[in-house]
Amino acid sequence: MFVWVLAAPGQQFLGGFARLLTAPTIQRSALSFFSGRAYATGRFHERDVAVRLQLKRTRYGQGYLVVAVRTGGPSALDSGGIEARVRDDAGRRGLFSIASHDLVTSVEGGWLKALWQPQGFVIFPGRFSAERWEPVLEAMHAVATSLEASAPDVSARTAVES
């Protein structure tokens, strides 16, 4: 029972998150209980989504959650670069919503990522709340769409270089 109490909250959280996705899959290795790491993948508004949950497993370790949405925009940006490129109203509202949920954004390898790593006395990840996480996915979709719209047209760039 003690083992179940330690493992259950993370498993329930990721399962709840996966229900927000189309065609979700949850990936855990045989050693996931010990590593505290699990993944969920699926689609949201026709975009690929990947979620990584890392539960705290050591005294000084920290738990974190990364929600990643595939974008056709720039391949790498920090949060300041994202803010500079997002210029439309939907994208700006999306950035505000993401920040209001204490998430830090970046773009790496064509994925818009939002990192949640709570500090202080917080039960991580806590109970899953669709009312909290579905708006985050909506906001990330809006930001990814805005980043794609602000990306220079590849065909125009190729024509200029020729």
Longest dimension (CA), the chain: 67
Tell me the helices (H) and strands (E) count for the chain, helix number first.
6, 7
Single out the residue of 133, 147, 104, 125 nearest to residue 21, CA to CA.
133
Bridge-based pairing of strands 76-77 and 104-108 is antiparallel
Tell me the domains of the chain and their CATH numbers. Answer: 2-152 (3.30.1460)
pLDDT tier at 86 (50, 70, 90 boundaries)? very high
pLDDT value for 160 = 41
pLDDT 10s digits, 59-75:
666 889 999 999 998 88
Nearby residues of 61 by Cβ (< 8 Å), 6 or more positions away? none
Q: Give the pLDDT mean for 83-88.
A: 93
Select, from the ranges 1-15, 52-66, 103-117, the one with the highest average predicted confidence (pLDDT).
103-117
Read off the amino acid at residue 108.
E
Compute the half-sphere exposure of residue 155: CA atoms within 13 Å on the CB side of its CA: 0
Least confident segment among 2-11, 100-109, 124-133:
2-11
Q: How far apart are CA 95 and CA 153, in angstroms?
A: 23
Q: Are 69 and 112 in contact (CB under 8 A)?
A: yes
Does 157 score more than 60 pLDDT? no
Does the predicted TM-score (pTM) go above 0.85? no
